[in-house]
């Protein structure tokens, strides 16, 4: 079986992380929810260097950045942490399921849309995901600006999950916090980042939340009381990882090579690949119900994820992950050969 259904990294965690983790192994005291000075400094520098984002003073009294225990818990808990109790959360039409989980957990309604609605009544939070899972779609600056303006004009926080932001292939994804999108300040905006994919460290549970201090502060304060703390050795590994671009670039090239090989084979087998201009998935279709495609692929010994898992609009696509090892990608390429 070639399992391309799950996007979990399989390559070794780079030494820059494992060595920093081991060196920080003596950790008798509690870590802080705010993050160490070294981590916040490294994260702010990473945002500036890699994404062109200048956050408010990361070490100042009003936090503009905190670490999270991977980004999934933050995605699931954000409506709860912000104290949202009534209303509707907007999520992408085809989306990573955890946005809906988080809304339901907080007792909120969910509305799927990729364009700002004319009627903002009851909307309390907007999730964007660019580059998107499952389809690898990247929002343009115009699209991001439209959401930012809509959120600000209606007083609704706009939160962008950007955990694939360093994995642009055909386009360079912009953060919602980039000055071309956000303007001079980050009012009403949050961005979510993750080291899981870019640093091959999903097992570390290492994420970041940054943006408007008026939104980061309440999240940080509640997280302190919940004990949602990133372990100290992981914070040390995160700081080391965010200071080092070489391992991110090397991993990116591994994914690029897998993407080149797999996408050529998928197209040669007669599928069409939509979006997929960034991120770790191919969003492929044979213009048929996704379960028919899943059946056909399983006959070849390949497991993909049915697009319907991500919303009704995904029902004619399958998602194929680029996170498999090279020999598994080679096997998939062989099996797809017409
Ligand atoms: C869109 C999206 N957001 C968040 C996550 C969670 O990532 P992590 O919790 O490893 O940071 C994933 C994981 O695949 C994802 O695809």
Q: Counting atoms of ligand 1 from 1, which one is nearest the CA of 196?
A: 10
Q: Are residues 34 and 125 in the same domain?
A: yes
Q: Are residues 141 and 271 in the same domain?
A: no
DSSP SS3 for 21: helix
CATH number, domain containing residue 69 = 3.40.640.10
Q: How confident is the model at residue 318 (pLDDT cuts 50, 70, 90)?
A: very high
Distance CA 317, CA 133 (A): 13
List pLDDT tens digits, range 288-308: 999 999 999 999 999 999 999
Q: Are residues 62 and 175 in the same domain?
A: yes
| 166 CA to centre of ligand 1 in angstroms | 14
The confidence score (pLDDT) of residue 184 equals 94
Q: In the chain, which residue ranges form alpha helices assigned H by DSSP?
A: 15-23, 37-51, 70-81, 98-105, 141-154, 179-182, 195-198, 213-226, 232-242, 246-268, 290-299, 326-336
Distance CA 177, CA 47 (A): 9
Q: Are residues 173 and 233 in the same domain?
A: yes
Q: Give ligand 1 pocket residues (Cβ under 6 A).
A: 7, 70-72, 75, 96, 129, 133, 161, 163, 194, 196, 202, 207
Q: Are residues 143 and 103 in the same domain?
A: yes
| 72 CA to centre of ligand 1 in angstroms | 5
List pLDDT tens digits, range 237-277: 999 999 999 999 999 999 999 999 999 999 999 999 999 99
* Residue located via tokens 């000055």: 179
Question: Half-sphere exposure of residue 117, counting CA atoms within 13 Å on the CB side?
Answer: 18
The pLDDT of 146-154, averaged and rounded, is 98
Q: Counting atoms of ligand 1 from 1, which one is nearest the CA of 72?
A: 9
Q: Are residues 92 and 24 in the same domain?
A: yes
The pLDDT of 192-221, averaged and rounded, is 98
Please name every residue paired with 9 in a beta bridge, in sequence order, or none if there are none. none
DSSP SS3 for 151: helix
Residue nearest to atom 5 of ligand 1 (CA): 72
Residue of 196, 279, 311 to test ligand 1 pocket, by largest number of atoms within 8 Å of CB = 196
Query: What is the number of other CB atoms lying within 10 angstroms of the CB of residue 337?
Result: 10
List pLDDT tens digits, range 155-184: 999 999 999 999 999 999 999 999 999 999
Q: Are residues 132 and 236 in the same domain?
A: yes
Distance CA 239, CA 159 (A): 23
Element (H, E) at 125: strand 123-129
Q: Are residues 250 and 182 in the same domain?
A: no
The pLDDT of 105-122, averaged and rounded, is 97
Structure tokens, 101: 């989980």
The pLDDT of 177-193, averaged and rounded, is 98
Distance CA 58, CA 308 (A): 40
Q: Are residues 168 and 189 in the same domain?
A: yes
| 274 CA to centre of ligand 1 in angstroms | 21
Q: Are residues 172 and 251 in the same domain?
A: no
CATH number, domain containing residue 319 = 3.90.1150.10
Query: What is the number of other CB atoms lying within 10 angstroms of the CB of residue 242?
Result: 27
Domain boundary among 224, 244, 264: 244
Does 57 score more than 90 pLDDT? Answer: no
| 338 CA to centre of ligand 1 in angstroms | 34
Domain boundary among 244, 259, 280: 244
Domain boundary among 196, 216, 244: 244
What's the mean per-residue pLDDT of the chain?
Answer: 97
What residue numbers bound the domain in which 229 lies? 16-244
Q: How confident is the model at residue 338 (pLDDT cuts 50, 70, 90)?
A: confident
The pLDDT of 211-215, averaged and rounded, is 98
How many structural domains compose the chain?
A: 2
Distance CA 269, CA 200 (A): 30
Q: Which residue has the higher pLDDT, 29 or 338?
A: 29
Q: Are residues 239 and 256 in the same domain?
A: no
Q: Are residues 204 and 63 in the same domain?
A: yes
Distance CA 122, CA 154 (A): 10
Q: Counting atoms of ligand 1 from 1, which one is nearest the CA of 74?
A: 9
């Amino acid at each position: 079986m070639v399992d391309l259904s799950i996007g979990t990294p399989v390559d070794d965690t780079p030494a820059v992380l494992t060595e920093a983790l081991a060196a920080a192994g003596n950790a008798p005291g509690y870590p802080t929810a705010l993050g160490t000075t070294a981590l916040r400094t490294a994260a702010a520098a990473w945002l500036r260097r890699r994404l062109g984002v200048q956050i408010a003073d990361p070490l100042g009294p009003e936090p503009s950045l905190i670490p999270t225990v991977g980004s999934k818990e933050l995605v699931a808990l954000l409506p709860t942490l912000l104290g949202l109790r009534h209303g509707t959360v907007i999520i992408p039409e085809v989306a990573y399921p955890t946005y809906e989980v988080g809304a339901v957990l907080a007792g909120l309604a969910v509305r799927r849309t990729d364009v700002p609605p004319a009627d903002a009544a009851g909307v309390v939070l907007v999730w964007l995901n660019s580059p998107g899972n499952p389809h690898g779609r990247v929002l343009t600056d115009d699209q991001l600006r439209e959401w930012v303006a809509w959120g600000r004009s209606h007083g609704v926080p706009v939160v962008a999950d950007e955990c694939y932001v360093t994995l642009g292939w055909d386009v360079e994804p912009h953060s919602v916090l980039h000055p071309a999108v956000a303007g001079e300040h980050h009012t009403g905006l949050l961005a979510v980042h993750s080291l899981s994919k870019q640093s091959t460290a999903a097992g570390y549970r290492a994420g970041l939340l940054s943006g408007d201090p008026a939104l980061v502060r309440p999240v940080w304060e509640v997280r302190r009381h919940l004990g949602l703390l990133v372990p100290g050795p992981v914070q040390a590994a995160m700081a080391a990882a965010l200071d080092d671009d070489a391992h991110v670039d090397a991993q990116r090239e591994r994914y690029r090579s897998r993407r080149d090989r797999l996408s050529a084979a998928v197209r040669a087998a007669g599928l069409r690949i939509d979006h997929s201009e960034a991120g770790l998935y191919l969003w492929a279709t044979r213009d048929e119900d996704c379960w028919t495609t899943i059946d056909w692929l399983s006959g070849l010994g390949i497991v993909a994820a049915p697009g319907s898992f991500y919303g009704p609009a995904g029902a004619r696509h399958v998602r194929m992950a680029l996170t498999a090892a090279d020999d598994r990608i080679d096997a998939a390429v062989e099996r797809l050969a017409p």
